[in-house]
Chain A
Amino acid sequence: MIATQETIDATAAIFDDLRCQKNTSLDNLLETPDGRRILSCIQCGTCAGTCPYGEHMDYPPRRIINMLQRGLIDEVFRSDSMLRCVSCYACMAKCPRNIRLSDVLLPLVKEQTLIHLTEMPAELQKSLQNTLRYGNPMGESSRKRAAWTATAGVPVPTIGEKGGVADILWFVECYTSYYARGQDNSRATARLFHALGLDFAILGNEEKCAGDCGQLTWESGLFETLTDYNMVVFGKYKFKRLVTGDPHAFNAFRIRYPLFGFDYPVDHTTPLLHGHLDRLKPMLKKKLDCTVTYHDSCCLGRRAGCYEPPRELLRAIPGVKLVEMTHNRVNAICCGGGGGGMWLDTFFKAKGMERLSERRIREAIRTGADVLAVSCPYEISRFEDALKTVGHDKPIVVRDVVELLADSLGD
C-alpha cells in the first residue's frame, strides 16, 4: 500500500493535539474536551474492526464507549478485555471522530481492569515490580546500566563526565542498555552520533526506565514514581534536547512528561538521523546488497506520524532495496509488545490468542525480504522470537534501522 503525501498529512493531523489532563479520571472524563469527543462517537466500529485483538475482546473500544455513555462502565471492569489491548494506536489513528482512545480512555479503563483483576498475570507483575525496584523490567542491576558503553567502540560519555552540559541528552532506555541485541542498537547509535560529530551524553547508571509501558498498562503510581525520579535527574544537568532510540520512551516524553513540567524538545533517533541525512549519506559507503522491508513501530508511526524518515534512511544505504508489507504505515500491524503486551505472551497464549509478532513476521516473510528493519528495541526480540516458531524457506534477519546504517558506515 503506497501512502501519498496527502495520506500522511491526513493521518498526522490527529497528532497535533498532545494535551492530556493530569487529573482526568473515568468519573470526570466526559466533562473534559477529550470526553466531549467521546460523546460524538457514532458507534461505527472502526476501532473494533481495526483492533488486532478485537475478536478476542468482550468489550472492544466501541462497546466501552457505549457503556461509558450509558453509565454502565463498571460492567466493563468485570471482563479482562482490556488486558488484551497492546496500545498500538490503530483504533485512535482511524477513529473518524478523532477520539483519543489509546491516549486517554483505554488507559483509564485498563487501570480499573487491573484493579479489579482477581489474579494478575505473573509475568507482567514481575516486570512491573522489577521496574519499580531496579528501574528496568528485566530486574538487572541499575549499577550495570551503562556497562554496554565499554563495548561501544567509541567514547560514550555520561553527562556528569562532560561537566553536566551537552547538546543532546541521549536517553538510552532499558532494552537497549541490558539486552544483548538491544545493545547492538546502542552501539550503532553511538557510532552514528560520532560519525556525525554530535555533542551528546548519556545519563549512565543514573537513568531509570522512562515508564511508558508502565503508564500504558496504567500503573499510574509506578509511572509517577519513575517520572518524579527522572525529572529530578534532568534538573541536575544542562542539555538542549533529549533523544531516545525507544519509541515508547519517545512517546512518554512527548505526551506524558509535559504534565510533570518536562519541556525539552524530544526526538527519536530515526528522525534525528534523517535530519542529518545530507551529511550522513556520503558516509554510507559500504554496500549492503539486501532487500529490506520496514515495520512501522506504533509509537513512532501511528502516534507520531513518522513514516517516511526511516524509509528514506534505508533507501540512502547503498544496495538496499526497500519493499513494503501488506500492512504498512497507518495500517501497520503491531508487534504485540506495547501496553504491557511484552510481558503478556503467556497470558495471550493461555487465552488461545495468536502472537501478533507471528502474524506480522508472516507478512514480512511473504515480501521475500532478507531483512526486517525496525526502529523500536522491543521489536528485535519479539520478531527474532517469532522467526523461531514461524516457518520460512528463505533466511530473514531482524535489524534496527540504526544497525543497518552503522553497518554501511564501514570502518
Chain B
Amino acid sequence: MIVPKKKEPIRVGVYVCHCGVNIASMVDVEQVAQYAAKLPGVAVARTYKYMCSDPGQEMIEQDILEHRLNRIVVSACSPLLHEHTFRKAVEKGGLNPFFFQMVNIREHNSWVHTSRAEATQKAMSLVRAAVQRVFHHKPLEVKKVPINPNVLVLGGGIAGIHAALVLANAGKHVYLVEREPTIGGHMAKFDKTFPTLDCAACVLSPKMAAVGNHPNITLWTYSEVTKVDGFVGNFRITVRRKPRYVLEDLCTGCQECIEACVYREPKFKDEFNLGLGKRKPVYLPFPQAVPPIAIIDPETCIELKTGKCKKTCVEACGDRKAIDLKQQEEIREIQVGAVIVATGFRVFDARRAPFFGYGTYPNVYNALEIERLINASGPTGGEIVLPDGRKPKSVAIIHCVGSRDEHTNRWCSRVCCLYSLKLAHLIHERTEAQIHNFYIDVRTPGKSMEEFYNRIAEEGVKLIRGKVADVYPDTSEGANGRLIVQAEDTLMSRILKLPVDMVVLAVGLEPHPDAPNVRRLFNMSCSNEGYFLERHPKLAPVSTFADGIFLAGCCQGPKDIPDSVAQAGAAAAEAFSLIDKGHIELEPNTAFITEAECSGCKSCIPLCPYTAISFLEDKKKAFINEALCKGCGTCVASCPSGSIRQNLFEDDEIFSEIQGLLAEV
C-alpha cells in the first residue's frame, strides 16, 4: 500500500460519471471535468459513461499508478449505492480506501433539477467542495468485531415459522418469539388455500410441529420483545414472557384441566374463532396449537379474578403440578446477531366502512370469519350457517372492503380477489348457494392464479363488476333477516338491488396498529401506509435500513402464502450470510475522545443514542466504544470543550468542504 509521505504534494483524481443519460442529460459532465482539472491539487479529471463499471474502476486504479494520485473524488450517484465500490477500487489501486470522497450529482442534482446550466453549476460547486475536503482525509482502518450466531425471529405466522426452520436446519440457533399463545398466525385460521385448494392445516401443522420439536429453536409464545439494545451482530433483546398460568415444561398437553374446569360448558368468546365460538377460562387455542399447552385467561378465570374457585383444574392436573396460578411474568434477555421481523398484518375492521353493515346486521361476515365457519375445527364444525342455523341460499361476496379506497386504505391488498374466488367455491360446495362476487377489477397475477379464476368462473359464480354501495335489510314480508345488496352492475349500466341471505366482506390487509412501536424498537422505517420499509424495493427487498434487521411476510406489505414463504426464505438466507461470516466490518467514521481536552463533564453520555459512551472513573474522562458508535455525530456537536472528534468528519474536513461549496465558481 502506498503510504503518502508527509511532504508529498496532494494529487487529486476527479472522475465525473455520465451514468448513461441519468446525469449527462442534465449536467454538462465535460464542463464539470474541465472545471475540476483547473482546481488546485487536481492532477487528473476525466468523465466516463459508467464509472461503476469494471473499466471505470480500472481507470481509477491505473491513474493512481500512472499519475501518482493520492486522493480520489468520484462524482456520480448516491454514496449509498456505490461508495463501497469506489473505495474498493481506490484500495486496489494501492491507496487507503478513505482517501476518497464521493459526490452525488444524480439523486441530489440531475434527477431533481430542470435547468441544465444551473445543474452544471451546482455539480461544479459540489466537486470543488469534495476536492477541498479530500485534501484533509486521513488513512483509516476498518475494524472487525465478532458476530453472535443466534437469530431472533419475531412473529410465528407462516413467514416466521419458515424463516426459523430454514436457519435452524442450517445449524443456527433461533429464538422464535410470538405474541399469541400459539404459533400459526392467520394461516392456521384458514380452511383451504388458493389456487390449489389444499388444506391449510395439512401443510402448516407439520411445520408448526417441526418448530415445536426443533433442537435449534427456542420457542417463546405469549411473549413480546420490549427492548432492543446493541447493534448488528450483537443485539441484546429483552423479552417479556406473559404468564399463561400453566408451566410449559411440566404440562403434557393432556387437556384434563380443560375438561375439569368448574365451567361445564364453554362460555367465553373464543379469540381463535374470532368470537364465533366459545371457550372456557382454561383452554387450548385450537387442536393443533404449538406449543400444545393450555393457557388460563386471567380475565375470566374465577380463581385469578376473585381467588374463590374450587380449582378443579389443579386437582385434575394432580402430580404433574403444571398449573401455577401464582405465575408471574418473566423478563428474559437474549443475545442475537440478526433479527427477522415477521409480525404480519391484521384484517381491516369493516365497521370503518359502515354502509356494508358489518357489526350492525348479523348476516354480514368478514372473510376471516367465513374461513372459521368453513373450517372443520371451527365453531360450526365446518357448516356454513346463518346465526339462526339456516343454510344461506344466496350469498354476496363484496371485494375491496377497506382496499383501494381513499377513505380507508389506499392500497390493493393483493390477496382478496383470489381468496374471494376461493370462498365462492367453498361456500357453494358446502351450501349449494348462488354466489355473487361484486368486484371492481379481478386481479389474479401469479402462477396458476388466472387458471384458478377460470375454474371458479366455470363453476357458475356470478361475477358482477361494480362496487357495492349499500347493504340494508329487506323489509318485505318473510324476509327473515335477508339483506339487500345495492350496486351498479357497471357492465350493464343497471342498478341492482339483490336480495341475499349472507354477505361476506373481502376485507383488506393492513399493518398492525402497534407496528410503529415495533418500528421504533428495531430502528426501522415505515412506508406511508405503515408497513415496514425494505431497504430497496427491488434489490434489497428483505433488508431494512437498520443493519442486521430483516423482513418477511405481510409486515412488509400484503402478500399471499407462497410469497410470504419465499420472502421468509430470502430473509433467512440474508441473516445466514451475515452471521455465518463470523465477524462484521465496522465503518471507521466513529467518534473519539481527545483525552487531554476532555473535562469529564459527562454531558455526552446521556445523549448517545447507542449507549456507546462510558465514563472512565480512574481518569475522569469519557470513553467511546468504537464497536457501538454508529458515527451519528451527536456527541461531537454537543461537547462543550470540543474534545470529541469524528473520523471523516473532522473540523478541517467539514470546513474545507463548506468553503469549497460556497466559493464563487
Contact = CB atoms under 8 A, between A and B. Distances in A.
Contacts of A11: 407
A63 B493 CA distance: 8
A3 B488 contact: no
Contacts of A47: 469, 488
B488 A96 contact: no
Contact of B355 (A14, A48, A94): A94
Contact of A6 (B351, B400, B487, B494): B351
A42 interface: yes
A6 B488 CA distance: 27
Among A3, A44, A94, A329, the one with the most B-chain Cβ atoms within 10 Å of its Cβ is: A44
A1 B441 contact: no
Contacts of A94: 355, 407, 469
Interface residues of A, number: 35
A94 B467 CA distance: 11
A72 interface: no
Nearest to B470: A50
Interface string A351-376: 00000000000000010000000000
B42 to A, nearest CB: 48
Nearest to A362: B475
A10 interface: yes
A13 B469 contact: no
Contacts of A157: none
Contact of B407 (A1, A48, A96, A366): A96
A44 B470 contact: no
Contact of A331 (B351, B354, B475, B488): B354
Contact of A14 (B357, B407, B486, B494): B407
Interface in A79-116: 94-98
A44 B354 contact: no
Among B404, B406, B441, B488, the one with the most A-chain Cβ atoms within 10 Å of its Cβ is: B488
B405 interface: yes
A10 B405 CA distance: 11
Contacts of B473: 326
Interface stretch (A26-34, A54-62, A170-178, A341-349): A54-62
Contacts of A23: none
A151 interface: no
A45 B486 CA distance: 11
Interface in B449-494: 465-470, 472-473, 475, 486-490, 493-494
B407 A4 contact: no
A7 B351 contact: yes
Contacts of A7: 351-354
Contacts, number: 103
Nearest to A37: B406
Contact of A4 (B351, B469, B489): B351
Contact of B404 (A42, A48, A54): A42
A94 B471 CA distance: 13
Contacts of B360: 1-2
Interface string A365-402: 01000000000000000000000000000000000000
B440 interface: yes
A44 B466 contact: yes
B468 A49 contact: yes
A43 interface: yes
A330 interface: yes
B357 A1 contact: yes
Contacts of B642: none
A314 to B, nearest CB: 20
A286 interface: no
Contacts of A42: 404, 440-441
B495 A62 contact: no
A98 B359 CA distance: 25
A101 B473 CA distance: 28
B377 interface: no
A326 B353 CA distance: 15
B408 interface: yes
A355 B475 CA distance: 18
A366 B475 CA distance: 10
Among B440, B468, B472, B495, the one with the most A-chain Cβ atoms within 10 Å of its Cβ is: B495
Contacts of A62: 488, 490
Interface residues of B, number: 34
A130 interface: no
A48 B351 contact: no
B351 A45 contact: no
A44 B440 contact: yes
A66 to B, nearest CB: 9
Among B354, B404, B405, B468, the one with the most A-chain Cβ atoms within 10 Å of its Cβ is: B354
A327 interface: yes
A326 to B, nearest CB: 5
Nearest to A14: B407
A47 B352 CA distance: 18
B69 to A, nearest CB: 52
A49 B407 contact: no
Contact of A45 (B355, B404, B408, B488): B488
Given A55-B495, A60-B488, A62-B490, A49 B470 contact: yes
B354 A45 contact: no
A48 B495 contact: yes
A366 B474 CA distance: 12
B144 to A, nearest CB: 51
Interface in B376-409: 400, 404-408
A151 B494 CA distance: 52
Nearest to A8: B354
Contacts of B466: 44-45, 49
A13 B488 contact: no
A44 B353 CA distance: 16
B487 A49 contact: yes
Among A45, A62, A329, the one with the most B-chain Cβ atoms within 10 Å of its Cβ is: A45
Interface string B342-359: 000000010111110101
A242 B138 CA distance: 69
A223 B398 CA distance: 42
B510 to A, nearest CB: 12
Nearest to B489: A45
A348 B351 CA distance: 35
Contacts of A63: 493
A97 B406 contact: yes
Contacts of A97: 406
Contacts of B470: 49-50, 327, 331
A46 interface: yes
Contacts of B406: 13-14, 95-98
A50 B405 CA distance: 16
B467 A46 contact: yes
A394 B472 CA distance: 24
B469 A46 contact: yes
Interface string A207-237: 0000000000000000000000000000000
Interface in B480-521: 486-490, 493-495
Contact of B469 (A2, A49, A366): A49
Contacts of A55: 494-495
A54 B355 contact: no
Given A1-B355, A7-B351, 9 more contacts: A2-B359, A10-B353, A11-B407, A45-B488, A48-B488, A94-B469, A96-B404, A331-B470, A366-B475
23 contacts: A4-B351, A6-B351, A7-B351, A10-B408, A13-B406, A13-B407, A42-B441, A44-B467, A45-B466, A48-B490, A50-B469, A54-B488, A54-B495, A55-B495, A94-B355, A94-B469, A96-B400, A96-B404, A96-B405, A96-B467, A327-B472, A329-B354, A366-B475
Nearest 5 A/B pairs, CB to CB: A49-B469, A45-B488, A50-B469, A48-B488, A96-B405
